[in-house]
């Protein structure tokens, strides 16, 4: 496992120089989609940020700052979030995060003259999570140590049913939690203040003739789509093909890339399969498949290029990570 460096951004960073951030070694970004549940609260820089970050080959997540006070509003925020990100889902390969912070609690207090219970804040997050999970979107929660032991206690962070984006600039608590992304502090980069993050990513094995094949790029292809088709992250594909790192959005018909060698297995809707014991991550995200999901009978609900939707866990997995049940 290695660590990647990233930033989180919103309108407060203004026009971001994504090419410059890439030169400095940042490879992923968590971009604010908006806040609240009204159209006017969509971040005015969201479209620009996600388009330009994707063009520079960044791995991308989205966060939605929440002001919910009940589970109905949580679903309404999730609906607006989904509407906002829907045109860009192919660019979001990390996940979508529920961001509930001190301002969120203050808003609740000013409205009701009391603080929300942890049962309510937990249920509001789970409502947001469940709505997006219905669309097969990996979700996560942005929180810190104080909120983990108060407003979000009782959540199972180790199960990896959702991602944990953990804020810990103090570096005191991160070793106690199975975080996926950790916000480590702030940094002035060429006069712009950014929140800096690290993300756990799997160590990439070098390709050899036994585990890669050659794909010839066609008109209309993108590296992100090619990576997804062969069960790879964009970062992994670029590690295997470093000649594309500097300009991953500039590719031409007839060029070639190394991709994972697919295992040819005829699997159809309705088949019963098992997730292999050595499978590591759900399809398209750096999220570990829990051990309790492996080795049990699961029903194939949908089949798409390189991936399967499994009915009982409602999650996508790489086709190469399953085998037919006997």
pLDDT of residue 200: 84
In terms of Cα–Cα distance, which of 154, 153, 160, 185 is closest to 172? 185
Yes or no: say if 70 and 124 are a contact pair by the CB < 8 Å rule: yes
Which residues of the chain carry a pLDDT beneath 70?
A: 1, 202-210, 262-265, 286, 305
Question: What are the tokens at 296?
Answer: 């049990």
pLDDT of residue 202: 60
Q: Give the largest Cα separation in the chain, rounded.
A: 65
Yes or no: say if 127 and 170 are a contact pair by the CB < 8 Å rule: no
Dist CA 125 CA 103 (whole Å): 16
pLDDT of residue 207: 63
DSSP-derived secondary structure letter, 316 = E
SS3 263: coil
pLDDT of residue 209: 61
pLDDT of residue 95: 94
pLDDT of residue 124: 97
Tabulate helix, strand, coil % of the chain (nearest 5).
Answer: 30, 30, 40
pLDDT of residue 208: 64
- Which alpha helices (DSSP H) does the chain contain, by range? 18-23, 46-55, 71-85, 102-112, 118-133, 145-148, 223-229, 234-240
């Amino acid at each position: 496992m290695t660590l990647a460096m990233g930033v989180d951004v919103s309108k407060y960073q203004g026009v971001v120089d994504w090419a410059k951030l890439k030169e400095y070694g940042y490879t992923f970004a968590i971009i604010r989609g908006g806040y609240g549940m009204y159209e006017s609260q969509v971040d005015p820089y969201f479209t620009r940020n996600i388009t330009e970050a994707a063009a520079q080959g960044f791995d991308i997540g989205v966060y939605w700052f929440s002001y919910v006070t009940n589970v109905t509003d949580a679903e309404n925020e999730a609906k607006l979030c989904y509407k906002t990100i829907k045109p860009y889902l192919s660019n979001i390969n990390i996940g979508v995060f529920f961001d509930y912070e001190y301002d969120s609690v203050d808003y609740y207090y000013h409205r009701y003259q009391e603080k929300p219970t942890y049962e309510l804040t937990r249920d509001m997050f789970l409502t947001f999570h469940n709505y997006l999970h219905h669309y097969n979107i990996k979700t996560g929660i942005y929180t810190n140590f104080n909120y983990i032991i108060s407003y979000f206690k009782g959540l199972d962070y180790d199960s990896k049913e959702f991602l944990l984006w953990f804020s810990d600039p103090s570096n005191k608590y991160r070793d106690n939690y199975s975080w996926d992304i950790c916000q480590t502090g702030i940094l002035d980069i060429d006069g712009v203040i950014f929140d800096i993050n690290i993300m756990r990513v799997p160590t990439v094995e070098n390709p050899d003739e036994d585990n890669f094949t050659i794909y010839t790029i066609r008109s209309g292809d993108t590296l992100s789509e090619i990576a997804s088709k062969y069960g790879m992250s964009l970062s992994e594909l670029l590690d295997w093909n470093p000649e594309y790192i500097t300009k991953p959005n500039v590719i031409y018909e007839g060029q070639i890339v190394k991709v994972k060698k697919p295992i040819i297995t005829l699997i159809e809707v309705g088949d019963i399969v098992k997730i292999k014991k050595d499978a590591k991550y759900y399809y398209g995200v750096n999220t570990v498949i829990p051990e309790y999901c492996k080795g049990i009978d699961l029903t194939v609900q949908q089949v798409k290029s390189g991936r399967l939707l499994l009915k009982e866990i409602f999650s996508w997995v790489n086709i190469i990570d399953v085998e037919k049940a006997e």
